[in-house]
Structure 1
Amino acid sequence: MTTTVPVRVWASRPMVLLAVSTGLSVVLFGLDAAVWAVPPPVSWALIVLTSLFYVPVTWQASRADHVPAAARSFWRLAACALALIGTAMVFRAVLAVTHVGLFEAAADVVHGCGVVVMLTAMFRLPIAGRTRSGRVALWLDIVILMTSAVVFLAHFAILRILSLGDAGAADVVITSALFGAGLLGVFLAVKVTLTGSDSLSRGAVRMIGVSAVAGGLGTAISTALSHDREMNSFLLSIPLAGFTIALAARQQLSDSTAAQSAIATRARPFSVLPYLAVGAVDLLLVYVVATDQPDRLLVVVGAVLLTAIVAGRQLRAFRENVRLTDEVRGSEARFRLLVQNANDITVITEADGALRYISPAVTRVLGYDPAGLIGTSLADHTHPDDLPALRDGLRTLMATEGATMTLEARCRHADGSWRWLEFVTTNLLHEPSIRGRVSNVRDVSETRTVQDKLSHEATHDALTGLANRVLYGRRVAASVDGAEPVSIVLIDLDDFKIVNDTLGHAVGDALLVAVAERLRAGVRPEDTVARLGGDEFALLLPGLAADAVDRVVVRICESLLVPVEADGQLLSVRASFGVTTGGPGDDPGELLRQADIAMYEAKDRGKGGHQHFRTGMEARGSDRRRLIDALTTAIDDDQLILHYQPVVSLPDGRTTGFEALVRWRHPADGLIGPGAFIAAAEESGLIVPLGRWVLNRAARQAADWGEQAGSISVNVSGRQLQVAGFADEVAKALRTSGLPARRLILEITETTVVGGGATRTNLDGIRAQGVRLSLDDFGTGSSTLTTVAGLSVDQIKLDRSFVDSDVIARAVLLLAQGMNAEAVAEGVETPAQADRLHELGYRRAQGFLFGRPAPSDEYGLTRARVGGP
């Protein structure tokens, strides 16, 4: 901040008037000093007029919000002090006209109070912080200035007393008072000017010092020079003191931030005031010696004393300089050792990027000899891909002196590899001792590796390495902002949950990895393959027409059908594909929803195929949701019923048992078969409570029929077997119904029975109860004969699709005999089929030939008991 008063300080009417009145006061005092008498009313009127101007200016500084609190407190006290002194001047003006002694006493009291308040304000003013050495130097400077002031004031006091001739006691008291006031003024000026303040601006501090000199020393000197007690010394001291304090207030108001000025004030290493004071005393010494003044001994002693003090101060300064020099040298040595042994590299580069200095740490970090790098360019060692960003960053850094910037770039190691380095660079080209860019460089290769890994994990699937849902969503959003069309394909593996539930998660994970590899192989490098979760995958195909997308989907379908070995299991995979196409302006979320609807449409049409989204498919999705909601209500409201189909012996057709088959008695649509809702139940998880209801109702019905009905067969889904505690549910159903365990047959599919975990635990628990297990729909699953041969089942059912195939029927019969299990043929519809199966060796059959599924009361069986659960 500039040390001169800005032009805006004068930009107010009170300051202009104050400057004019102060100038007139100085002129009138000069006339009085030249023995050109000025009428007292004129001088006092000018003093009173001046007092009216500086009080409001000072009070304004105490009310400004941007002025620090400590400074506002000072200006508040200063305004009060000036108001009291101004009031005293009014009393003195009245005294000059009326000569009433009461006004003189009042003026003295009020003036004294004003001086006390002003002294309090100055003494309370916080000073800027200093070190111990700085405080010693400060007090030596204060002693030098005060000694100079004593010499000057004593000189003028002696002159005044001599000019009065026979000076009485009153003259000595007045002279002593003036002497004391002058010393006090000098002390305050020195204290404020030399110490500075954390609250006031530099310009304000200087003006306050001048005000203290004008009020104290100025009064004393002007009175001493007057040679006449009646001369109005206030005509000079009061206007000057008030004007300078008002200037200080205006300077404070003009500064936007006083703290910056305070910092600048504290930053000064020395003051010239003590040396000016010594020079002034030396000039006074020359004057009193040349004119043979009576106080020359006093001046000589003062000059000698000042010389001694200054010499002592300089000696101390020399010792301090030596100490600081030793500290600097020690600091330089320590700094050199720290730089040379630090793990980070310290680099100084020229404006053009040439290396001027590089610390020995470069050998540990990059394997180079520091001397061999001097003069080379930083660009010579930077990875080409990182060079543009590095240059742009350094160009921005060079635009601002002292600016600091953090950059990362790869630099070549001596072994040819690349290391990630972090550059914390500061622009010190403006510093004469540096004239370059200073960089602190550290190796962040490991950190970058971890960050890259975390970033990759946050956007990629951990199992397959494909993009995850987050990254896929970002790329879809970015693609629809482009100019070309983009196709979104959602893929869901059909019946994958059965693989997980039956073969275990290890096989399922291996299968997912194999699927991911085939998806990658079936698309272009610019396409995105993602795993959204579970067995759901997605493709993002930009710039392809609809027929090209169809070819990609068909190619992937065919590749998935080729059996893949997954953790020792040879499996083929079917998947359902949903396709939609979007372009600029489309909503990414809506496109994903459309692809999802199309995928479920493909599942509903038979799985293993693909569908493009068309308007109207939303209704089918809504229908599916309504179906699930209605099925939930059906289970809760007992809308389900059981039909029973007989299982007979061959060749006589005698009933040996029944299979329980669920039907839905819909309130509006009538009787609905399982094909319309079992898939939705499996998809939504409702198959678990539905299956529980079927088990309990069938067990109760079979118990009611008694032994005459034979066995009761109940279908169990893979989801039911996966629920921990399902074996306990079976035991509870038997217990509450009273049905013997040997009469209950649970029918499971071949892919379900080979599962691990909870599935295996439940199957073992079921067999331990004596419940029999039947392998249903044999031949339609994905397991191998080797796997099935190791199963522990009591019955194998030949699927209806193989009834007319003697070869398969005979093979299944032989497998059942080898497993010591009973063979049952399903779907027998004609006597010829029954006869041929009997000839092959089948002794149990089931089908429309022997009876269609029907309610329990249509079989004419009597109840074995009454009641039941």
Structure 2
Amino acid sequence: MPKRSGATDPVLLGLVLLGVLIVPWFLRHGEQRTTSWAIQTGLDVANTYFVWRIATNPVMTPAGRRIWWAAVLACAGCVVGDGYQTALLLANPAMTTISAVQTGLVVAGMATVVGAMLRHPLGGSGRQRLRLWFDATTVLTGVAVFLWYFFLATDLSGRQATDRWAASATAVVMLLITFGLLKLILSGTAPFTRAAGITAAIGVSGTGLAAPVALGLFGDPGPGGGMLVQLLPCVLASAAFRFQQLQVWRLAEPKPGGTGGQSSRLPYLAVVATQILLVVSLRDGRVDARVWGVAIGAVVITALVLGRQVAALRDNERLLTEIDGQAERFRALVQNTTDVTLVIDRTAVITYASPATLRVLGVPAEDLAGTSLHDRTHPDDRELHAEQARRIFANPGTGITMQTRWRHADGSFRWLDLVGTDLGHNPNVGGIVLNGRDATEARALHDELSRQATHDSLTGLANRVLLHRRMEAAAQRVSILLIDLDGFKEINDRRGHHTGDLVLQEVARRLNGIIGAGELAARLGGDEFAVLLPGTDAAAAERLAEQVAAVVSEPMPIGGELFRVGASVGVAEGAPADGDGLLREADAAMYRHKRERKGQPAAN
């Protein structure tokens, strides 16, 4: 069934209209038994259809469907019983008694519903279910005491035996239905909405209790009024069933957890009300069946509440023991873990620090409390901290990972892998939780591997990979110097590779001393070097090439001796996208320069 508002449902509006119209009708025409029972039979037919639609709805759980199928059987029994009573009245309009067949079918149908309600799962643990049974029984006993004192004791004593048994059976069944509804509503597992359940409870209970209640409160309502107080609850029950049929889709929605303290107050209100009623009943000093009923009910309610309190005290003792054990376990885990845990407020002030801060940061936890985390963060990481804080605030309850540096007590900075979670909505935390693991060694290894991938291990200069990356990243024309050492092979052959390595390292040091900011010196392999000059034209590059040749050619004091090498430098200038082409062009220029230095003609 599509979602539909009860305010616009024609069937529900029709039931409301029926309830309004029958009031003047019966008040004007007096006792109309045949009409009353005919209307009741029609309502029973409608109720059977309504509850059948609810029972067959796909959103209904198996346990809920069991209750609604019992309601289908009960409504069908009411159709037969009330229809039979209507037929008897049509045959004999002067008939004033209610058929035993009608009473038996109604009571049997309602008993079926009561059985299904009592079998419905309560949810929760065994102790929770025990407290729920105590609460529901206490409230039911309180309702029974009030009904007994004000209505049933007087009403039942003035009837014939047959009527007394029928009235007693109906009252008992209605009280059991009230108990079942209380049980389901208090447990939060009811297969109906709270509004529909309360309305149906009033209507169903009213069919059996409205007449004595009206008699006790207002006196004899008259023939027409008597019909109304019996028929209006039936209309109300039908409206509740129809409303539940319209709202059955709400059962598929997630329900808020628990019923809170509101439900737990009901048993105590029942105790207070019953005790007050007992005092009122004894004010004239007369002890009769009414007073004895109240006294017995007060004793039963007191015993139930005491039983509930004993169960609650035992549960509290067990809960406190479990909480103490969990707190001790958590304390041991926090104190012995190697990970740092901090709780900070939205201004980055530390409100809690775990003992691991002493091992990781060299600072006792108590010294960190009340200090600002910004003051301990590396200046280069503070902007990252601010950005990550915005992400954490935007995703409360979700862990956000990052890596940052915090200052150690010795002045150095330690890398930490962090997970930040905003738990400000949790009153037991009230801040941002940072869980950090020392990643200093892992970060150092990562940086070293990254450097080895882009730098020459002997000289520390950039390698060919980094040279190409920097050329590709250049936004303007570049010049490149390609340098080949002259005379290096003789030093390497005669003095060995160790001396040759020292010469290469000295050349690298001299190149780094010449180049400026944004320029890059690289070793391409062997005795071949390159210098990348972003934004430098060919003329400026030629001047730098001459300076490089002069600086490299200066004597090198190594191992107590002086060594000299020459430098042939080729220059190329062009677009950075053609990196390989620039290197080839510079390589050709370098060989031309090398031949010119040796007095050889340059090859085309």
Q: Please indicate, yes or no, whether the TM-score normalized by the shorter chain is above 0.5.
A: yes
Deviations 1:460-514 (A, max 9, x none): 566665556765565455433xxxx1327596989xxx99xx99xx89x959878
Residue in 2 that maps onto 1:25: 19
The 3-state SS of whatever aligns with 1:415 is coil
Matches of 2:418 and 2:300, distance apart in 1:
58
Corresponding pairs, count: 565
2:384 counterpart of 1:389: yes
Matches of 2:17 and 2:277, distance apart in 1:
28
Change (3 A) 1:554 1:33: farther
Change (3 A) 1:547 1:319: same
Q: Summarize the alignment of residues 430-829 of structure 1 with structure 2, pairs less than 5 Å apart.
A: 437-457=432-452, 460=455, 465-467=460-462, 475-476=470-471, 478-480=473-475, 485-487=476-478, 489=480, 520=512, 523-529=515-521, 540-552=532-544, 579-582=573-576, 591=577, 594-597=578-581, 599-600=583-584, 608=591
Q: Is the 8 Å Cα contact of residues 63 and 120 (structure 2) preserved in structure 1?
A: yes
Matches of 1:222 and 1:564, distance apart in 2:
116
C-alpha displacement of 1:310: 0.6
Q: Is the 8 Å Cα contact of residues 6 and 12 (structure 2) preserved in structure 1?
A: no
The 3-state SS of whatever aligns with 2:380 is coil
C-alpha displacement of 1:303: 1.2
Residue in 2 that maps onto 1:683: none
Q: Is the 8 Å Cα contact of residues 480 and 532 (structure 2) preserved in structure 1?
A: yes
Q: Is the 8 Å Cα contact of residues 21 and 46 (structure 1) preserved in structure 2?
A: no
Residue in 1 that maps onto 2:269: 276
The 3-state SS of whatever aligns with 2:161 is coil
Matches of 2:415 and 2:239, distance apart in 1:
65
C-alpha displacement of 1:563: 11
Higher RCO (Cα < 8 Å, 6 or more apart): 2
- From 153, 166, 181, the equivalent of 1:174 is 166
Residue in 2 that maps onto 1:192: 184
Deviations 1:629-678 (A, max 9, x none): xxxxxxxxxxxxxxxxxxxxxxxxxxxxxxxxxxxxxxxxxxxxxxxxxx
Matches of 1:33 and 1:45, distance apart in 2:
16
Q: Is the 8 Å Cα contact of residues 490 and 595 (structure 1) preserved in structure 2?
A: no
Q: Is the 8 Å Cα contact of residues 577 and 599 (structure 1) preserved in structure 2?
A: no
Supply the AA of the counterpart residue of 1:217. Answer: S
Residue in 1 that maps onto 2:219: none
Change (3 A) 1:374 1:89: closer
2:207 counterpart of 1:219: yes
2:299 counterpart of 1:304: yes
Change (3 A) 1:108 1:444: farther
C-alpha displacement of 1:392: 5.0
C-alpha displacement of 1:307: 0.5
- From 198, 203, 208, the equivalent of 1:210 is 198
Unaligned ranges ≥5, structure 2: 92-98, 216-222
Change (3 A) 1:211 1:556: farther
C-alpha displacement of 1:314: 1.8
2:232 counterpart of 1:240: no
Matches of 1:394 and 1:371, distance apart in 2:
24
Matches of 2:507 and 2:50, distance apart in 1:
87
Matches of 2:264 and 2:541, distance apart in 1:
85
Supply the AA of the counterpart residue of 1:142. Answer: A
Residue in 2 that maps onto 1:418: 413
Supply the AA of the counterpart residue of 2:518. Answer: E
Q: Is the 8 Å Cα contact of residues 146 and 186 (structure 1) preserved in structure 2?
A: yes
C-alpha displacement of 1:250: 5.1
C-alpha displacement of 1:46: 7.9
Q: Is the 8 Å Cα contact of residues 190 and 209 (structure 1) preserved in structure 2?
A: no
- From 131, 140, 147, the equivalent of 2:134 is 140
Matches of 2:514 and 2:187, distance apart in 1:
82
Matches of 1:601 and 1:430, distance apart in 2:
65
The 3-state SS of whatever aligns with 1:243 is helix
Matches of 2:331 and 2:591, distance apart in 1:
73
Residue in 2 that maps onto 1:704: none
Matches of 1:62 and 1:473, distance apart in 2:
72
Matches of 2:458 and 2:169, distance apart in 1:
96
> TM (normalized to structure 1)?
0.51
Matches of 2:522 and 2:6, distance apart in 1:
72
Matches of 1:405 and 1:573, distance apart in 2:
54
Supply the AA of the counterpart residue of 2:236. Answer: L
The 3-state SS of whatever aligns with 2:448 is helix
Q: Summarize the alignment of residues 320-399 of structure 1 with structure 2, pairs less than 5 Å apart.
A: 320-329=315-324, 331-332=326-327, 335-336=330-331, 338-349=333-344, 352-394=347-389, 397=392
Matches of 1:20 and 1:210, distance apart in 2:
21
Q: Is the 8 Å Cα contact of residues 415 and 443 (structure 2) preserved in structure 1?
A: yes
Deviations 1:261-309 (A, max 9, x none): 24x2367696223233334544554565568663332221121111022
Deviations 1:795-822 (A, max 9, x none): xxxxxx9xxxxxxxxxxxxxxxxxxxxx
Change (3 A) 1:524 1:53: farther
Q: Is the 8 Å Cα contact of residues 55 and 79 (structure 1) preserved in structure 2?
A: no
Q: Is the 8 Å Cα contact of residues 196 and 205 (structure 1) preserved in structure 2?
A: no
Matches of 1:31 and 1:233, distance apart in 2:
13
C-alpha displacement of 1:329: 4.7
Deviations 1:577-608 (A, max 9, x none): 765315xxxxxxxx2xx3324545676x6872
C-alpha displacement of 1:210: 2.2
The 3-state SS of whatever aligns with 1:271 is helix
Residue in 1 that maps onto 2:312: 317
Change (3 A) 1:573 1:115: farther
C-alpha displacement of 1:363: 3.1
Q: Is the 8 Å Cα contact of residues 401 and 427 (structure 1) preserved in structure 2?
A: yes
C-alpha displacement of 1:385: 2.7
Change (3 A) 1:337 1:578: same
Q: Is the 8 Å Cα contact of residues 127 and 195 (structure 1) preserved in structure 2?
A: yes
Change (3 A) 1:379 1:598: closer
Change (3 A) 1:87 1:545: farther
Instruction: Specify the structure having the higher radius of gyration (Cα).
Output: 1
Matches of 1:41 and 1:187, distance apart in 2:
32
Residue in 2 that maps onto 1:743: none
Matches of 1:172 and 1:417, distance apart in 2:
93
Q: Is the 8 Å Cα contact of residues 44 and 78 (structure 2) preserved in structure 1?
A: no
Q: Is the 8 Å Cα contact of residues 351 and 370 (structure 2) preserved in structure 1?
A: yes
C-alpha displacement of 1:187: 3.4
Change (3 A) 1:221 1:530: farther
Matches of 2:472 and 2:23, distance apart in 1:
86
C-alpha displacement of 1:21: 2.4
Unaligned ranges ≥5, structure 1: 1-7, 64-68, 583-590, 611-781, 783-800, 802-869
The 3-state SS of whatever aligns with 1:416 is coil
Change (3 A) 1:539 1:321: same
